[in-house]
Structures are given as C-alpha cells and as structure tokens.
C-alpha cells in the first residue's frame, strides 16, 4: 500500500503541474507576497530571476503628477524592487495608514499581477491585486468574527427592459430566521461597473456586517443592480458570455435605466420582507450611479427619504435624451417640497467632477434645498466610495 | 458648460490612470485576447514591446511528458507567440474542441496572467485566465438565456465545530416563488478548495441552470460547503483574512469534517424547503471530497440514496485517525444492505488515483456491492470534474 507521505507528494506534484505554479516545489522557498508587518509596513516579493527590472505601482505609494493631452492628473506612484542572489525581488513599503490598497507589478515594463497573491478585484477590464492594512476604518473592510449577512446573486424579471437581469442582494444577519421587515438601500455602480462592483470593489457586505455588529447601522437590505440596460448581467455572468468589458456602455445615461427602475423596486418589494414606505427606502450611487440616483430620486416622487450622491456625474449630457430628464429644476423643487430626511453629497477635492458638483450645490443653495455635504481628500476612486458608504449607511433609517 | 465628449475623454483618462491600463488610450489599438473565432480556433494577443520571448501555456495545448523526481506526469504544453512591429505578440491555436480552457502567458520566463482577459479563476493559490469554446457539453458551462437559479453565500452555525461557517447554496429557478420542496445535492470540493471551488471552477450554477432548462436534471438545491474544518470561510472570505492558500490544510482528512457533517444537513433542512428523506439526498465530491462523500455516506446510515465519487482520494491514510473510519468494511456492507439507488464512480485513465480506485472497485466487486463506473480520458483535473457533474446530476432524483 502506498503511504500517505508519498501520496501527498504526488498530490502536490500533480497539483503544481495543474496550476502551473511558478515556484519549483521541492527546494524552492515559499514566496509570501504581500506580507503585512505588525508595524503596518508591507513587503512585496516576486521570484523573477530573468527580469532586468521590477517595479511596483499602487495606491499605497504617493501619487505623482501625470501630464496628458487633456491636462494634469494624479497618477499612481512607482517604486523599484531589488533583487537578491536567488532571483527574488523585494520592496518594503513605508508604514502605511489603515486602508484597502491595490497594486500591480511592472516587470521589464510590463504591468501584471502578483502571482503569489490570488486576491484580485476586477475594475472594468483590469484585475489588480489587493491587500488590507488593518486598523481604523479599514477594519470595516475585513471579514471579522461578527454575525454575517447573506449575499445572493439572483435574476429579476424586468418587463420594461424585456429581459431577466442579474442582481446582487445583501440581506442582514438574521434576516432568514426573522419575521421582521427591513429597510432597503439601493446602491448603484458607476460607468464600467455592474452588479459585481459594489460587492467586490466596494466591500459592501463586510462594511454592513461590521457596522451592524457595532450598532452603527440599522440592519438593512442592500440591493445592487446592474445599471447597464443593454446587459442582462455583468461581463462573464450574463448571456453575452466572456468579452472585454468597456468603460462606456451604450444607453447607460439616456434615461432608460431610470425609467425602468420601478421593475427593480417591484421585484425587491414583492420578494423580500421590506418596509415598503418612503422612510425605509434609500438610494445612493457613485459617479454614473450618482447621476442615476439623482434622477431616480426626483422622478419617483415620494419614494426615497434618503439620497446619496458619491462623486456624482452631475452634468448636462448630450445623450440625456430621455423624458426622465425633462423639467429637472421643477422636479428638484417638487422633491424638496415633498420632503426627505437626507440628501447627502460627497466628493473628493481632486475629483474631476468637483466643479460640476460645486455648481450643483450652488443650484441647491439658490433654491434653499437642504443637503449634507462631505468633502474628502483624493479623487474619483473606490477608496473614497468605500469610505462614503461607511459614512452614509449609519445615517439611514434612524427615525 | 463642458460638453459630453470632452467629459467622456476626461472620464476615460482618469479611469485609465486609476486602473493602470497597460494600453495607451489615445491612438493605441484595442487589444482583444483571447478571441474565439467562428471556426473554434482562438487568437491570443499581448502588447509587450520590450519582451524578448512570449509563450502561452494552457490545457488547450497538447500535454507534454514532464519528468520529476516523483515520476513522469502529463504537463501542459507551451507554444511561442510571434511579435509584430507594434510590439503585439500573437498566437493562433488549432481548431479546438468545445471546452472551458485555462491558460497563462510566459513572458521572458515569467508565468503571468493575460492583462486583456479579466476572467480569472483561482485554484488554490493561483489565478489563471479562462475561456470557453462553445458547442457540445461546453454549452452547459455558459450563461445561456434560460431561467436562472440563485446563488447565495451565507453562514451556518456549526455547533460541532464551534463556529459560524460560510457556505454556498444554489437554489433552482423558481425556488423563491414556489411552495414546492426540493431534493438536495451536497457537492464537496477537493484538497486546496473551499466553498468557492465548485461554484467558480466547477461552473455549478451554469451546469444546473442548463440541465434543468433542457429537462435533463430535476430542479434541485446544491449545497457547496467548506471541507476544511480549520477555516470558517475560503481564504479572503473568512475571519483569517487574506493569506496565501495552501494545498494541504490541517485536519481535512482526520474525520472531523465527516463527524460534523450533520450540522450542514441540519442547517439545510431547517432553512430550505427540502424533501428531507433518503431518496431526495445525494452526496458527491471530487478527490478529497470523494473521500469525504465515501465516508459520510457510510457513516450516516440511510441518509443518501445517491453517492458520487469523482476521482476520489480512496486510500488508507495515516492521518485518518477519527472513529468515523473504524470498521470501514462493515459500514460499507451495512450501506449496501440498507440499499441505495446509485453509487457512481468516475475517474480519468491517467489520474494518479486510478489504481486506488481500481482496488476499491475490486473490493466492491468482491462484496457484490453495486455501482456504476465511468472511465474518462485525462487525469485529476477540473475539466473532468465539470463533465462528471454534467453526467451525474441527470441521474439524480428520478424515481
């Protein structure tokens, strides 16, 4: 009979071939990357004996100014790794602030993923590695030992769009074994996103689990739909199969989505135990999703008591041909007159939409429409949107 | 007011910086990789002007013999890409058979992912790109325009293991809006896997949606637990946070999991509308999960009418110290005497566990214990396990 040890070795050998591990299994050191140290510095490692240069780029490094034909933007910094005699390249960061960071390696000019870190998130068409430096608000992004909600990917019927569409639903801890009804936050993604964006890039389930456990947010259902009306599901998850995702998708900001949002509300309110009244509905979104939230909230009168615009794409648009955009000022005025509990606007100081949001706030000021305003550091990034969610969710459904 | 076109350009610029796209946005061609042609050949492309050599490796290429200190194994083939004057490397494959394939690029000796293909699956600690060549059984792996079930990640209480644990549950189309009760397939992963393995690598929801739509499988609930008792969730999804997943995890085959499987059954049967009787329970698993299925099915008398062993790790093990493994022959005999509807064994001809399965079948033959046996081409691979699921599921719950 074959002994366990030998079989384990064969197991490992077969596995290593199957997954094409880059490391030789017998004798080679185990590469750990990234390694987050107790002092919150981080070491990155890469085995690449033949490479001439290896750099790292990511949002944990100080930004650099990038000149482009369209202006000057903050771009991610880069740092050089150094090579040891075994071909292992290493970079140790400064002590980092608590945050969820992303990074990529640049090997001889080629930007790629870290083969020793399988934790990747897709943003539009690119996958980048992530890591968390804990502490402070970053602990909200971790899976902690607290009661956990459930996350379901299911499909709803949209009669208006003539298709079944994929949707992501977070239900809070205890939902399944309770008879209670819950309030609902509709949480909308930006251009290039889909029903996977908030749950993956946005860490929605971790944030809600942790805020609810701390008593800082009310137990709520969070509905994360797909805002691209030409898709039935995210790239790779819908009937169009695998294809390279695009940032600009047709018909995302022409009013079709807003006009058919009632199908989503109808689905949620007939399939979940929800408190189906204005004081228990919130809608928020980032960038394009902020634009959607703005227009949905003023086109569905008396539907939402809470509205959140995260780095919202507030701007007159030539493709905004839908009737849903008619009489914008009049609808805003009606929304104000109907009353609501919170109209929350947040944007980063270096966001390219900063001026558009400033103009919009001036409009609200001129008409005496009340809102709360948060101005953060940074720009048009998921780092900000995760933090906005941690700040917005505790303000919901408190009355 | 800024016009839409300019804003779109700024949007794109900001986005490209944010995601560190490798392609220059203005002027550079759009790289599509992989491109599956109508004739089922596939072109792969990579922009890497500075690279000296680029190869591709993947399971769509003919295997090659690899010599190792532990013996000769089939390893994945490699092929060279050729470079054009713009620095774009290209490889066009032969016409491929319908299948879900995986691949990686090797750039100057460094194995990495395809930056133009965001569709990746993690197998233990490695992420590789995937693509599907449609037709035949591979169409079962696609998201087709058929009714879709729901996939939920939730947490169950395991009193036996003293923790809440993450679990993946597929419910069939119509489950939520029906009053029917459903049969249940418990589907177990192998060593190095977790509650994400079958749903991601195994395409379980696509396979079940498609088989059910074709009338080839009964609507059923599929329960995909985590078989590593020291984990509360998959790497990155549990309270241990992000860490490099290991192939061999402690206490996976010492009987602890099997002894506490009752917590999973209890959770499922008290939280879902299920037909809670032997004729409506099935258990199947791959490799280590086959070992678990073998021992759970004979340690829980009269619990399962359907048992599936996919490339099962059938072998006496020195770490198999749990009482659950005592009196193996006697429990098998009792299982046979109790009766069941299907005992299904499948393995590939080149699987390193082939001989162990052959010995096991000889034992069953000697005791006249009935079983169905499928011998496929290939080895210990997800390609086989996906196919085994497409063959096993239609045999369930038919009587």
Question: Would you say residue B389 has pLDDT above 90?
Answer: yes
CA A101 to chain centre: 13
- Kindly state whether residue A2 falls inside one of the protein's structural domains: no
- Are residue A307 and residue A163 in the same domain, yes or no? yes
- Are residue B126 and residue B163 in the same domain, yes or no? no
pLDDT confidence of residue A356: 96
Q: A65-119: per-residue pLDDT in tens?
A: 888 777 777 788 999 999 999 999 999 999 999 999 999 999 999 999 999 999 9
- Are residue B258 and residue B389 in the same domain, yes or no? yes
**Spatial separation of the C-alpha atoms in residues B9 and B13, rounded to whole Å:** 6
A249 pLDDT tier (thresholds 50, 70, 90) = confident
A3: left (phi over 0), alpha (psi -120 to 50) or beta: beta
Of B84, B99, B134, the one marking the end of a domain is B134
Residue A110 has its nearest CB partner, among B3, B50, B71, at B50
Opening angle at CA B121, ends B41 and A35, nearest 5? 135
- Are residue B372 and residue B251 in the same domain, yes or no? yes
Task: Find the CATH number of the domain harbouring A385.
Answer: 3.40.50.1820
- Are residue A146 and residue A116 in the same domain, yes or no? no
Of A79, A109, A134, the one marking the end of a domain is A134
CA A377 to chain centre: 18
pLDDT confidence of residue A10: 52
Determine, for residues A271 and B191 on separate chains, whether the beta-carbon distance falls below 8 Å: no
- Kindly state whether residue A44 falls inside one of the protein's structural domains: yes
- Are residue A74 and residue A200 in the same domain, yes or no? no
- Residues of B with CB below 8 A from A235's CB? 118-119
Q: A339-398: per-residue pLDDT in tens?
A: 999 999 999 999 999 999 999 999 999 999 999 999 999 999 999 999 999 999 999 998
Tokens describing residue A33:
């990357």
Question: Domain limits at B346?
Answer: 146-395
A11 pLDDT tier (thresholds 50, 70, 90) = low
Tokens describing residue A216:
């800082």
CA B311 to chain A, closest CA, distance in angstroms equals 12
Question: What ipTM does this complex have?
Answer: 0.93
Tokens describing residue B124:
């233990």
- Are residue A111 and residue A164 in the same domain, yes or no? no
Q: Three-class SS of residue B350? A: coil
- Residues of B with CB below 8 A from A76's CB? 17, 20
- Residues of A with CB below 8 A from B152's CB? 150-153
Determine, for residues B379 and A14 on separate chains, whether the beta-carbon distance falls below 8 Å: yes
Question: Would you say residue B6 has pLDDT above 50?
Answer: no
Residue A151 has its nearest CB partner, among B153, B271, B379, at B153
Tokens describing residue B242:
């992000």
Task: Find the CATH number of the domain harbouring A85.
Answer: 2.60.40.10
Determine, for residues B73 and A237 on separate chains, whether the beta-carbon distance falls below 8 Å: no
**Spatial separation of the C-alpha atoms in residues A272 and A54, rounded to whole Å:** 51
Whole-angstrom Cα Rg for chain A: 23
Beta bridge partners of B91: B44
Determine, for residues A20 and B57 on separate chains, whether the beta-carbon distance falls below 8 Å: yes
Of B91, B110, B134, the one marking the end of a domain is B134
- Kindly state whether residue B1 falls inside one of the protein's structural domains: no
- Are residue A101 and residue A151 in the same domain, yes or no? no
pLDDT confidence of residue B152: 98
CA A323 to chain B, closest CA, distance in angstroms equals 18
Tokens describing residue A169:
């639903």
Q: A272-294: per-residue pLDDT in tens?
A: 999 999 999 999 999 999 999 99
- Are residue B128 and residue B152 in the same domain, yes or no? no
Q: Three-class SS of residue B61? A: coil
Question: Would you say residue B12 has pLDDT above 80?
Answer: no
Report the residue of chain B nearest A71, measured CA to CA.
B10
Cβ proximity of B193 and B291 under 8 Å: no
Tokens describing residue A112:
């790629």
- Are residue B164 and residue B210 in the same domain, yes or no? yes
Determine, for residues B11 and A247 on separate chains, whether the beta-carbon distance falls below 8 Å: yes
B88-92 sheet: strands from edge to edge: B35-36, B42-47, B88-92, B82-83
Total domains present in chain B: 2
- Kindly state whether residue B349 falls inside one of the protein's structural domains: yes
- Are residue B57 and residue B109 in the same domain, yes or no? yes
Question: Would you say residue A220 has pLDDT above 80?
Answer: yes
Mean pLDDT of B110-139: 94
Determine, for residues B17 and A271 on separate chains, whether the beta-carbon distance falls below 8 Å: no
Q: Which residues have a Cβ under 8 Å from the Cβ of A11 and sit 6 or more positions away? A: B191, B247, B248, B352
Determine, for residues A150 and B154 on separate chains, whether the beta-carbon distance falls below 8 Å: yes
Question: Would you say residue B363 has pLDDT above 70?
Answer: yes
Determine, for residues B116 and A244 on separate chains, whether the beta-carbon distance falls below 8 Å: yes
Determine, for residues A244 and B164 on separate chains, whether the beta-carbon distance falls below 8 Å: no
- Residues of B with CB below 8 A from A7's CB? 315
Report the residue of chain A nearest B26, measured CA to CA.
A69
Q: Which residues have a Cβ under 8 Å from the Cβ of B58 and sit 6 or more positions away? A: B76, B101, B102, B103, B104, B128
- Kindly state whether residue A108 falls inside one of the protein's structural domains: yes
- Kindly state whether residue B140 falls inside one of the protein's structural domains: no
A74 class by beta-carbon count within 10 Å (0-12 exposed, 13-18 middle, 19+ buried): middle
Between B308 and B10, name the one with better pLDDT. B308
Mean pLDDT of B190-202: 97
- Residues of A with CB below 8 A from B127's CB? 113, 118, 120, 127
A103-125 in b/e burial notation, b at 16+ Cβ within 10 A? Answer: bbbbbbebbbbbbbbbbbbbbbb
Mean pLDDT of A311-337: 91
Q: A33-66: per-residue pLDDT in tens?
A: 999 999 999 999 999 999 999 999 999 999 898 8
Residue A365 is given by DSSP the state: H
B211-226 in b/e burial notation, b at 16+ Cβ within 10 A? Answer: bbeeeebbbbbbbbbb
Determine, for residues B73 and A379 on separate chains, whether the beta-carbon distance falls below 8 Å: no
pLDDT confidence of residue B10: 52
- Are residue B295 and residue B339 in the same domain, yes or no? yes
For chain B, what is the mean pLDDT? 91
Q: B218-264: per-residue pLDDT in tens?
A: 999 999 999 999 999 999 999 999 999 988 888 998 999 999 999 99
């Amino acid at each position: 009979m074959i002994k366990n040890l030998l079989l384990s070795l064969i197991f490992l050998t077969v596995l290593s071939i199957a997954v094409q591990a880059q490391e030789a299994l017998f004798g080679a050191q185990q590469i750990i990357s990234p390694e987050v140290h107790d002092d919150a510095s981080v070491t990155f490692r890469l085995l690449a004996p033949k490479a001439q240069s290896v750099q790292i780029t990511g949002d944990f490094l100080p930004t650099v100014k990038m000149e482009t034909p369209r202006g000057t933007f903050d771009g991610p910094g880069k740092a050089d790794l150094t090579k040891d005699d075994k071909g292992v390249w290493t970079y140790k960061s400064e002590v980092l602030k608590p945050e969820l960071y992303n990074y990529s390696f640049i090997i001889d000019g080629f930007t790629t993923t870290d083969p020793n870190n399988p934790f990747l998130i897709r943003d539009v068409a690119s996958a980048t590695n992530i890591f968390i430096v804990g502490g402070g608000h970053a602990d909200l992004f971790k899976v902690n030992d607290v009661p956990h909600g459930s996350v379901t990917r299911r499909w709803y019927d949209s009669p208006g769009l003539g298709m079944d569409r994929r949707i992501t639903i977070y239900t809070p801890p205890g939902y399944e074994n309770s008879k209670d009804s819950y309030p609902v936050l509709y949480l909308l993604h930006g251009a290039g996103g889909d029903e996977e964006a908030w749950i993956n890039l946005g860490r929605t389930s971790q944030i809600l689990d942790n805020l609810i456990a701390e008593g800082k947010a009310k137990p709520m259902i969070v509905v994360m739909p797909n805002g691209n009306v030409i898709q039935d599901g995210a790239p790779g998850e819908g009937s169009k199969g695998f294809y390279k995702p695009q940032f600009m998708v047709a018909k995302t900001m022409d009013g079709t989505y807003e006009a058919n949002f009632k199908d989503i509300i109808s689905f949620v309110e007939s399939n979940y135990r929800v408190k189906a009244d204005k004081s228990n509905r919130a809608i928020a979104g980032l960038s394009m999703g902020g634009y959607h939230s703005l227009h949905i909230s003023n086109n569905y009168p008396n539907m939402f008591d809470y509205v959140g615009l995260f780095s919202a794409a507030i701007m007159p648009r030539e493709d905004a041909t839908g009737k849903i955009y008619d009489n914008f000022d009049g609808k805003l005025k009606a929304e104000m007159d109907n009353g609501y509990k919170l109209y929350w606007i947040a944007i980063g100081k270096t966001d390219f939409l900063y001026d558009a949001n400033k103009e919009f706030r001036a409009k609200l000021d001129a008409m005496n429409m009340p809102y709360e305003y948060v101005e953060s550091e940074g720009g048009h990034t998921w780092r900000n949107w995760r933090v906005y969610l941690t700040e917005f969710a505790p303000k919901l459904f408190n009355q």
